[in-house]
Amino acid sequence: MKLSTTSVALALGILWGCGVGCVALAHLAFPSYGTSFLEVVGSIYPGFHAARNFGDAMVGTGYALLDGAVGGFVFGWLYNMFVERKL
């Protein structure tokens, strides 16, 4: 059974984007929450600085949406390649 690469890309993009976005917004309300996680994410995504304000939170969420979608697409593509070979 093959996967729809578009569906996997959308699902993982939304999942990762919501995850980073929720932690970033929670960090704005409770500054000690998720600091280490956001610093790691900030070291990967240029322009994202551990959600010091709402704009930073949205930048991180946007990067995460794109990153998750690309990762989901690659995962679906690789999965389909292995299914075709019937290992």
Helix axes 35-44, 54-85, angle to 10 degrees: 70
Q: What angle do CA 75, 62, 22 make, to 5 degrees?
A: 95
- Judged against a pLDDT cut of 80, whether residue 87 lies above it is answered with no
d(CA 1, CA 29) in angstroms, rounded, equals 44
- Judged against a pLDDT cut of 90, whether residue 64 lies above it is answered with yes
d(CA 10, CA 59) in angstroms, rounded, equals 18
Residue 47 has a pLDDT of: 85
Distance set, CA 58 to CA 20, 32, 61, 76, 80 (Å)? 9, 19, 5, 27, 33
With residues binned 3-state (H G I as helix, E B as strand, rest as coil), the percentages for the chain, rounded to 5, are 75, 0, 25
Each residue's pLDDT tens digit, 5-60 = 999 999 999 999 999 999 999 999 999 999 999 999 999 998 888 878 899 999 99
Identify the band that residue 66 occupies on the pLDDT scale cut at 50, 70 and 90: very high
pTM: 0.87
